Structure 1
């Protein structure tokens, strides 16, 4: 197929550091960018070799482009995605897809009705480590799955300590930033999330925005007639000296994935069963965003599916919103 022509909605850090290069590596062409600030839009276009820039979303949607990548503030995702889909553009949207599940449902429905691709830019489900974990679980290698645990406690870089921690900023906080990534990994692995219990706190002295920067959750999963599965997550912006990991425990074994939850995943998968402990070879050499952009391109071509579909993004959002509500209310929240 011809190279996908892309427009960027948002002159963001993630677009600059990850996604532009991934689009180009996957064979795509980035035409231009829209940003609320003309100076930022112009500087961003110049820095990344983009031919066009604008402050008008409708102008961008009128360009000769096939798809948009949305990485603006979370509060704008819904309106911008609906506008892009309405203009006949495929959409790759940063997580969370929206700030309300009903909005994300509308996005998914419109994409399905128009035959366009809507995907969430959850980079982790496409990781070869997580793909191999799903493969081992599906093959029954560890028997019936009983529980899972994710450690996703990291130190938020100083350059990103802005809107993510603003108490009055819609879509801020560690849960919508990190816990939804956990859900994007756990959901396809464990089944249907049905209930969430969570606690969230503010820990860092440098966190002057007031929003919670650390959270723990317990999520109940159900999968057909099997026994329920419990998953635990620890998500944080405040931990500087720990690796990330995923553990999956079954009746016949345990899978441990070391360095499992970062953008640069050079991790290790260890399988423990009655036969002993062994490392499972996994090629982690490819950039996760390139994997995701290649899958998105294949989906547009009709030869594949995104690593995280719009519906996958919706379910990850539902888990995160339930965790937020639980942390605020002190109650277990059930997911519809």
Structure 2
């Protein structure tokens, strides 16, 4: 049995640089061993900065690395499906940034292929790890605060310039507020309430930041299968 799981990073992204690479390496049984980026300069710089043994620009070369057991995908959203399927076929476990895909059908296909390949597929909904959310989930499950009837989420954020780019100007990459922000809110409610969605009604708007018909604001109501109504 290997002493450590070898992790490969697909995408030299901001989240990989600021949060994930150090978090992975901090685990006693894990080590980042390879980084892939479409930019050779970014791949080389990332590897040098974070003391990663190998770097490359080609997905096939990356997935052929026997030292990689798990891949972490943090590329733009439209690439998640293709890269996840390739990793599964190569026998690598996958931790993919949210959203898994641009459509429900694609997300289900990713899940099915990973299951058939016998590899784990996880979505990096990191807000599940917040102590406040985990405590709230526990209190609700224990009945300590009664039975929830309604919930409200207010999530407003100004994206700093270095995080804007494709998130506000590239529809083909899966930009926009829903796939960037609202998915966090929905998943957090699912986690806290331990319930799933039955229906949703929402309206999206473009109010100054986004371009090319992408929405940068959304409001709506969700109904969960335990009867809870939630505003967002």
Q: TM-score by structure 2 length?
A: 0.93
Cα deviation for residue 167 of structure 1 reads: 4.6
Equivalent-residue separation in structure 2 for 1:189 and 1:124 (angstroms) = 10
2:152 equivalent among 149, 166, 191: 149
Q: Which residue of 2 aligns with 1:58?
A: 60
Q: Which residue of 1 aligns with 2:203?
A: 199
Cα deviation for residue 169 of structure 1 reads: 3.0
* Deviation digits for residues 164-207 of structure 1 (CA, Å, limit 9, x no counterpart): 00153331001100110111111133312011111222223x54
2:39 equivalent among 34, 37, 40: 37
List alignment gaps of at least 5 residues for structure 1: 234-336
**Is 2:16 the partner of 1:20?**
no
Assess if the C-alpha contact under 8 Å between 1:167 and 1:210 holds in 2.
no
Q: Which residue of 2 aligns with 1:169?
A: 172
The change in CA–CA distance for 1:210 and 1:103 in structure 2 (over 3 A counts) is closer
Equivalent-residue separation in structure 2 for 1:66 and 1:230 (angstroms) = 41
Assess if the C-alpha contact under 8 Å between 2:134 and 2:192 holds in 1.
no
Question: How many residues were matched structurally?
Answer: 228
Cα deviation for residue 106 of structure 1 reads: 1.5
Q: Which residue of 1 aligns with 2:99?
A: 96
* SS of match in other structure, 1:106: helix
* SS of match in other structure, 2:180: helix
Cα deviation for residue 209 of structure 1 reads: 5.2
Q: Which residue of 2 aligns with 1:178?
A: 181
Equivalent-residue separation in structure 2 for 1:134 and 1:159 (angstroms) = 33
Assess if the C-alpha contact under 8 Å between 1:5 and 1:65 holds in 2.
yes
Equivalent-residue separation in structure 1 for 2:144 and 2:132 (angstroms) = 15
Give the alignment of 1:1-336 within 5 angstroms: 2-27=3-28, 28-63=30-65, 64-190=67-193, 191-204=195-208, 206-208=209-211, 210-223=213-226, 228-233=227-232
* Deviation digits for residues 34-85 of structure 1 (CA, Å, limit 9, x no counterpart): 1112122112222222121111111111112110000011101001001101
Which structure carries more relative contact order (alpha carbon 8 Å, separation 6+)? Answer: 1
Cα deviation for residue 2 of structure 1 reads: 2.2
Equivalent-residue separation in structure 2 for 1:161 and 1:112 (angstroms) = 34
Which is richer in strand?
1
Cα deviation for residue 103 of structure 1 reads: 1.2
List alignment gaps of at least 5 residues for structure 2: none
* SS of match in other structure, 2:146: coil
Q: TM-score by structure 1 length?
A: 0.65
Cα RMSD (Å): 1.5
* SS of match in other structure, 1:141: coil
* Deviation digits for residues 260-317 of structure 1 (CA, Å, limit 9, x no counterpart): xxxxxxxxxxxxxxxxxxxxxxxxxxxxxxxxxxxxxxxxxxxxxxxxxxxxxxxxxx
Equivalent-residue separation in structure 2 for 1:196 and 1:55 (angstroms) = 40
Equivalent-residue separation in structure 1 for 2:43 and 2:36 (angstroms) = 6
Equivalent-residue separation in structure 2 for 1:25 and 1:17 (angstroms) = 14
Equivalent-residue separation in structure 1 for 2:42 and 2:175 (angstroms) = 22
Q: Which residue of 2 aligns with 1:277?
A: none
